[in-house]
Structure 1
């Protein structure tokens, strides 16, 4: 596909270096989710870091393991940091993660448990990005920028390779959580290259709409705040290069309300037996808010993570 930074040969090559535990994740029809359409779940939580992020960090870590510099720093809301720590641990990499001290405690604890250095900042994810860049410059080490660095996008794109053969239903659509954009651009690129009839729909919370607004206005739109329970997608400052890719591979970008995200969490628990983080319920939220659009169609939702604060989760779902 012309006009993007992504490359199909590199995506296929990524499958060769990603640990098998992250590949070929479960994909199944969840008939218990009676939403007026055929809902297929692509479950990206059944792995050691409980999110799709390991696909991208495996690519990065495999490269660093054979380079002169074996140190890397990233900013993370939690999931990327865990994944980079896991991928770097057995390869002997020196991993530093910068995160907001307001990030989900369970995610921060897991980053520490996996052996990474963790630095906390008194601000949101955007401040963590600034601090990570400072560390990289000062120490002369690799800065891994989620969604900007192609390894994160093309690692995530391997999910698309696993979806293509399963998209044979009525007017199929794939719902993808939209945060920094690695998942959406990666999967969207593969689908639009190999199965162009599939509708690629990105979903973002109404309280963190920057990249969705940017997609609609075809220019970078920033926001002063991000207010959503879906912390994994709560960015405020889109990356221009990512927006350029997204404009090519996405058919639509929609915003959903917090109440719909919570309803999605409950449905996935009650009818699919899945405990997930709010970002992973965005696809279900989108169906709930526009049932007519999806009626009678095959709809794939990528359940992208399950690292959630248990106390908050119980309040959200009423346990």
Structure 2
């Protein structure tokens, strides 16, 4: 395997600084999903933790290092989940955390960032606009800029998911990973290629936010002018070159899925697994729905990466009555 920026020894060491509440998350075969998907499906559940996403695996590594070495302040741009995770990890270590987000981000995510005692600054625009503002704050205040996927700690923290996958039994044939900035895809992909090279690593992105997938396919950074997807957690326009270089080494495929398939995946996870998930977490199921023949007869793991979703929007998407009194 050609070398990525990641290091397997550092990934193993990361498990010692990540709060155990984020580790060894449930992994189980969900037979109720299988008749509709025509393959064996195991779910790796990353929503059953205090921030309801996998992101704290990375922020725990960053916050631990800042607590030991400084500076004791950090800023990040976030679509919501990274901000919650950094706020949680920073609060537990006495760090001053600022999160920059789009004012159009889901209110439930913004409210949780505030509740975790982080300073929240909202910008007009999307995630990439927030990223530009976070860079400016870090430069002006002389504090740590946390950049998801570019910062190796975010990738190696997410890679601990891969360690848990390869230590399980029975074995599986493919893993489906939501693709946004690329921290989880490169992290989990690195571990699988190093320790279980026979497993197919398939990244999944919405058709309405295809920049990283187009970049992977063309082997160069491809940007887009806008995004149009309900999967806000993966809706970036400007791939990071260093992350793309890693992804090219560990991903076997990158696929795009329709919004209707994402919604159908969310509904299946609710109806057959009892899971309320955000759209990004249903990308794996969406990929199977769009290409059942590819996965027929195989054992597939899908990483259910987040459960921070506005419930009124969720009920609109899955066709239920809206929540009353909210």
Q: TM-score band (shorter)?
A: over 0.9
- The equivalent residue for 1:138 is 140
What residue is the counterpart of 1:219 in the other structure? 220
Match in the other structure for 2:10: 10
* CA-based RMSD: 0.8
Match of 2:73 in 1: 71
Q: How does 1:237-276 map to 2 (within 5 A)?
A: 237-276=238-277
Shift of 1:69: 1.2
The question of 1:199 aligning with 2:200 is answered: yes
Q: Which runs of 5+ in 1 are unaligned?
A: none
Question: 1:122-201 residue pairs with structure 2 within 5 A?
Answer: 122-166=124-168, 168-169=170-171, 172-201=173-202
The whole-number CA distance in structure 2 between the counterparts of 1:220 and 1:167 is 37
What do the CA deviations read for 1:127-168 (whole angstroms, capped 9, x no partner)?
000000000000000000000000000000000000013364
Give, in angstroms, the shift of residue 3 of structure 1: 2.6
Q: Is 1:89 the counterpart of 2:88 in the alignment?
A: no
Q: Secondary structure at the match of 1:66?
A: helix
Unaligned runs of 5+ in 2: 321-326
Q: Which residue is 2:101 aligned to?
A: 99
- 1:287-306 equivalence runs, <5 A: 287-306=288-307
Q: Is the 8 A contact 1:11 1:154 kept in 2?
A: yes
- The corresponding residue for 1:44 is 46
CA deviations on 1:221-274 (whole Å, 9 max, x unpaired) are: 000011000000000000000000000000000000000000000000000000
After TM superposition, the score normalised by the length of structure 1 is: 0.99
Aligned to 2:111: 109
Question: 8 Å contact 1:174–1:200 — kept in the other structure?
Answer: yes
Shift of 1:54: 0.6
In 2, Cα distance between the equivalents of 1:255 and 1:217? 14
Give, in whole Å, the separation in 2 of the partners of 1:318 and 1:165: 38
Structure 1 segments (4+ residues) deviating >3 Å? 167-170
1:310 aligns with 2:311: yes
CA contact (8 A) 1:99 1:125 kept: yes
Aligned residue pairs total 318
1:19-49 CA distance string (max 9 Å, x none): 0000000000000002110000000000000
1:264, 1:199 → 2: CA distance?
21
Give 3-state SS (helix, strand or coil) of 1:236's partner.
coil
